[in-house]
Amino acid sequence: MEANEKTLTLFTTRIRQLILQFKDMKKENADLYAMVDERDARISELEAKLAQAQNDYNSLKMARMIEISDGDLEGAQKRLAKLIKDVNKCITLLSEK
């Protein structure tokens, strides 16, 4: 009977070790899942920030294009006004002759 008792004790010890190992693995697995969830949340946050930054960049780029167009428009208006003045001077000079 003593051999059976030793075997039973060894079996019980091994089962306890397996249970402890299972609990450790379960905790580690839960920690890893939490870490993955945290990373997923961080990735989502960064993707949202990236999308916002791209929208801001596109808005600024469009505003810059409009600003350049306005500046060109003002310059063109000034050149046109000067040309009109020159044409009026020419007409006046021709009218006097």
pLDDT 10s per residue in the chain (97 long)?
A: 788 899 999 999 999 999 999 999 999 999 999 999 999 999 999 999 999 999 999 888 887 776 666 667 777 788 888 889 989 988 888 887 6
Distance in angstroms (rounded) separating the CA atoms of residues 27 and 33? 10
Domain ranges of the chain: 1-97
Output the CA–CA distances (angstroms, integers) from residue 80 to 39, 84, 85, in the order listed: 60, 6, 9
pTM score: 0.55
**Locate tokens 């007409």: which residue?**
91
